[in-house]
Structure 1
Amino acid sequence: MMRRLSLAGRLAMLFAACTATVSLVAGVLFNRASESHFIELDQQLLDGRLAELRNTLGQVDNPADFQSLRDRLQGEINLRPDQALRIHGADGQPWFDSAPHLPMTLPTQPGLLSLLDGASAYRLFNAPLTPGQAGSPELTLILDITHHQHFLQRMQQLIWLTVGLSALATALLGAWAARSGLRPLRRMSEVASSVSANSLTPRLDIDRMPAELAELGQALNAMLGRLEDSFQRLSAFSADIAHELRTPLSNLLTHTQVTLTRPRPLEDYREALHSNLEELQWMAQLVNDMLYLAKADHGLLSPSFEQLELADEADVLLEFFAPLAEDNQVRLARSGTASILGDRSMLRRALSNLLDNALRFTPAGGEIQLSLEATATGSRISVQNSGAGIAAALLPRLFDRFYRADPARHEGSSEHAGLGLAITQSIVRAHGGQIRCESEEGWTRFVIELPRQA
């Protein structure tokens, strides 16, 4: 299989092609300009020579008069070895020829013409001796321009040599420049190659990257950061699941083994089964909650939207929690009204989790305030309770699964295993809203922002 050309190689070839094209175009234009300049010089030279010949020959119109001027004309021609002259009468008969080595028949078109004869090149200029006079002899001035052609040929050879050398030099310099310029990409590749499940800490040095790659490097660093955070969360999540299930399983095994060590009365077996049932129900609820969160992670929660009066839903929940609040000597209160399109059971579960969480952390004699407010974009629900505040450093992690601000505390239900707030956040996000926690010494408030239409 043919190896694909590297990006540095492609850039080097592109640089070489561009340089060769520019050099070639510039060389061709210079060659054309030089050729035009030589033609202009030749035209000026032959025009001056024609004026001299007309002055020398005067009004000669027959071969007999011309014979007296032949020697003088030949002497002038001998002084200019690169020039030659042919004169023909009006009847086409040759009068004078200082270029016998050239073909007898030359182009007769008036004006400046070019002629190649073997390795030599000539410029021809045909003009009448006496302009405007019928029967005037015809003059053919011949200029040897072989040295011009040699110059142009050397120029063309130099152009091709320059094109080749410049393309080669540009390719080499371009390859070096491209390799140097692509060094940040190789660094990215090295960092990507070093990333593994055991090493998610490598990062790109954005400060040393060119501006074009800095944004990409920043995005890659952010991606690696998210991967590291997600991997750590996944590892912690797996450990938490094992920890949460190990205790009830251990209880079930121990209790069952103890019960079966010897024959017991029927009531003891019944009591053991009831105890095991409680543990199994707790485990089943924990598994159901984890499956619920897994559905939320994959966007599989599908709320059934209906028009809800949040005040009515809040009153139902407050009535449900009233006996527990009375036992804990906590006062429940609700203020404000709001309506929204949402899923009744899901929103009740979210508010129930917040109220249950507030009841467990509100000291005796404290108060829980549930506030409803209609906003320009939807509704705001807040559940505030008095009691010890939560440190600011812990607030961002409150909605993590199995997270407990006090690791030593362990309650006996799935909501108390650290999943309640995570489930509440999933429900709020499924409705297109956001939830946050605010806390200071003496109070804690959870605020839910829900859009008018999810």
Structure 2
Amino acid sequence: MRRLSLSGRLALLFAACTAVVSLAAGILFNRASEAHFVELDQQLLDSKLIGLRRALQDVQASESAARLADELSRQADLSLRISGSDGQRWYDSSIHIPKDLPQTSGLATISDNGTDYRVLNAPLYPQKTDSPQLTLLLDITHHQHFLQRMQHLIWLTVGLSALATAVLGAWAARSGLLPLRQMSVVARGISAQSLNARLPEAQMPPELEELAHSFNAMLGRLDDSFQRLSAFSADIAHELRTPLSNLLTQTQVTLTRERPIEDYREALHSNLEELQWMAQLVNDMLYLAKADHGLLMPKREALELADEADALLEFFAPLAEDARVRLSREGHARIDGDRSMLRRALSNLLDNALRFTPADGEVRLQIAEQARTLRVIVENSGEGISAQRLPKLFDRFYRADPARQEGSHEHAGLGLAITQSIVRAHGGQIHCESAQGWTRFVIELPKGD
């Protein structure tokens, strides 16, 4: 069976609530009407009882009969029975009085042959124990008919109000849920080629404003991810096109004619360099893919960061000496981490700093231990990086140098992305700052227990 729509559910809920409220109000009104009629009948019978006692007290029998007839003639729907203290019937004012009447004192309601009566039993002389009994009967059939019609009206009102509320509720719900249908229209129009559609948050009701904001934020993230994916694919093709073209060209040229063995050996060595660079590029891409899927599982071993930093600085010392760049390290700290991964991250940062440090510049590596984190800062002097480029530094295949050479074999623009993946795998964060002639990469790692 088809599931009920949200508008239908709201309409049925409105109808049910309206029916319950109408029914409760109708029942209360019906009970109040019944109680009101009982109170009126009680007052009427009490007043008639007082008149009858006065008429039948201290008078002659002939006069009593006349007074009885006078009293009863004033109320056509009122009847009287007089019985002795032993229950013997003495007098009936009408032949239609039921034979069996309640014997207990007080007010009661009975029904006989389709006629409803309110019955009041009371002694003629309240001060005497053997007093005759007066039984007053009031025909209340018209009251009961009124109550029955009112009950029918209540049920009719409940049904009509529930139906009207269901129709109006369905219309109101459909109108109120229009923003959801707008979301559905936008969602149906979304594809990889059209991710720029957005919901008008300002026109949304307060209940859906946060949902619309989250929906737009999701579309923004998807758009950004697709843009990055498209750029990533284009960058891969860009990086691989040149070495493949070199391999094909050099191989074709070598095979155009017979050559000495040394020429073939040289061609193979050149091809080997291209293939090694391509293999490194593929390995780096696979490394980043593992990081994206949370498959980088660093080993945990106690490391002295100062020792690891000194080993890297010693490795880069000849290169720094040739570039006339000073290397220095300050501070020390211990951490539980993966030695090879952390060395690779720091090596990428140092290599990046050396490439962009001018002659007679300086590269400093600082280690600082704080309350809950460890900070490792790699900074270099030289021309800074503009604020517009800082957020893109950790994007794959991004080069801060706008004059990058197409197909450069030295740096494919993956080093900082790999460094960020390694830092995140250790539960840390990395960001870049550039101001006042210094560019610094700041790594924050959580301290071990």
Give the TM-score normalised by structure 1. Answer: 0.95
| Residue among 277, 300, 316 paired with 1:321 | 316
Residue identity matched to 1:109: T
| Structure 2 equivalent of residue 57 of structure 1 | 56
- What secondary structure, in the 3-state scheme, does the structure 1 residue paired with 2:327 have? strand
Structure 1 vs Structure 2: percent identity of aligned residues?
Answer: 72
**1:35 positional shift:** 0.4
Whether 2:349 is the aligned partner of 1:354: answer yes
Give distance in 1, aligned partners of 2:206 and 2:38. Answer: 53
| Structure 2 equivalent of residue 196 of structure 1 | 191
Give distance in 2, aligned partners of 1:358 and 1:414. Answer: 18
Give distance in 2, aligned partners of 1:410 and 1:310. Answer: 35
**1:148 positional shift:** 1.3
Give distance in 2, aligned partners of 1:196 and 1:90. Answer: 99
Residue identity matched to 2:128: Q
| Structure 2 equivalent of residue 282 of structure 1 | 277
Residue identity matched to 1:182: L
| Residue among 92, 96, 104 paired with 1:109 | 104
**1:262 positional shift:** 0.7
Residue identity matched to 2:18: T
| Structure 1 equivalent of residue 94 of structure 2 | 99
Give distance in 2, aligned partners of 1:414 and 1:3. Answer: 61
8 Å CA contact 1:353, 1:415 repeated in 2: no
Residue identity matched to 1:29: L
| Structure 2 equivalent of residue 23 of structure 1 | 22
> What do the CA deviations read for 1:137-161 (whole angstroms, capped 9, x no partner)?
1111011112211221121122112
Give distance in 1, aligned partners of 2:141 and 2:370. Answer: 95
Moved more, 51-60 or 193-202: 51-60
| Structure 2 equivalent of residue 367 of structure 1 | 362
Whether 2:212 is the aligned partner of 1:217: answer yes
Residue identity matched to 2:88: Q
Whether 2:262 is the aligned partner of 1:267: answer yes
| Residue among 173, 192, 203 paired with 2:168 | 173
Residue identity matched to 1:97: D
Give distance in 2, aligned partners of 1:414 and 1:20. Answer: 79
- What secondary structure, in the 3-state scheme, does the structure 2 residue paired with 1:404 have? coil
Whether 2:331 is the aligned partner of 1:336: answer yes
| Structure 1 equivalent of residue 295 of structure 2 | 300
Residue identity matched to 1:38: F
8 Å CA contact 1:390, 1:441 repeated in 2: no
- What secondary structure, in the 3-state scheme, does the structure 2 residue paired with 1:392 have? coil
- What secondary structure, in the 3-state scheme, does the structure 1 residue paired with 2:195 have? coil
**1:91 positional shift:** 3.9
Whether 2:44 is the aligned partner of 1:41: answer no
Give distance in 1, aligned partners of 2:407 and 2:244. Answer: 13
Give distance in 1, aligned partners of 2:327 and 2:100. Answer: 125
8 Å CA contact 2:364, 2:380 repeated in 1: yes
- What secondary structure, in the 3-state scheme, does the structure 2 residue paired with 1:417 have? coil
Whether 2:224 is the aligned partner of 1:229: answer yes
8 Å CA contact 2:52, 2:71 repeated in 1: no
> What do the CA deviations read for 1:216-261 (whole angstroms, capped 9, x no partner)?
1111111111100001101110111111111111111111111111
| Structure 2 equivalent of residue 141 of structure 1 | 136
Moved more, 168-177 or 252-261: 168-177
Gaps of 5+ in 2: none
**1:422 positional shift:** 0.2
**1:412 positional shift:** 6.9
8 Å CA contact 2:198, 2:216 repeated in 1: yes
Residue identity matched to 2:275: L
Residue identity matched to 2:64: L
| Structure 2 equivalent of residue 130 of structure 1 | 125
8 Å CA contact 1:382, 1:448 repeated in 2: yes
Moved more, 137-146 or 69-78: 69-78
Q: How does 1:152-167 map to 2 (within 5 A)?
A: 152-167=147-162
Moved more, 128-137 or 259-268: 128-137
8 Å CA contact 2:304, 2:334 repeated in 1: yes
- What secondary structure, in the 3-state scheme, does the structure 2 residue paired with 1:157 have? helix
**1:371 positional shift:** 1.1
**1:135 positional shift:** 2.9
Note the aligned Cα RMSD (angstroms): 1.7
Task: Quickly say closer, same or farther: Cα 1:445–1:302, change in 2 above 3 A.
Answer: same
Task: Quickly say closer, same or farther: Cα 1:411–1:380, change in 2 above 3 A.
Answer: farther
| Structure 1 equivalent of residue 400 of structure 2 | 405
Residue identity matched to 2:81: R
Task: Quickly say closer, same or farther: Cα 1:141–1:415, change in 2 above 3 A.
Answer: farther
Residue identity matched to 2:154: I
8 Å CA contact 1:38, 1:148 repeated in 2: yes
**1:118 positional shift:** 3.4
- What secondary structure, in the 3-state scheme, does the structure 2 residue paired with 1:410 have? coil
| Structure 1 equivalent of residue 419 of structure 2 | 424
Q: How does 1:358-397 map to 2 (within 5 A)?
A: 358-397=353-392
8 Å CA contact 2:375, 2:443 repeated in 1: yes
8 Å CA contact 2:302, 2:334 repeated in 1: yes
Residue identity matched to 1:417: A
> What do the CA deviations read for 1:178-201 (whole angstroms, capped 9, x no partner)?
112111111111111111111001
8 Å CA contact 1:411, 1:417 repeated in 2: no
Aligned residues: 449
| Residue among 216, 237, 243 paired with 2:238 | 243
> What do the CA deviations read for 1:337-395 (whole angstroms, capped 9, x no partner)?
22211111101100100111111111111111111111111211111111111110110
Residue identity matched to 1:301: L
Whether 2:435 is the aligned partner of 1:435: answer no
Moved more, 422-431 or 213-222: 213-222
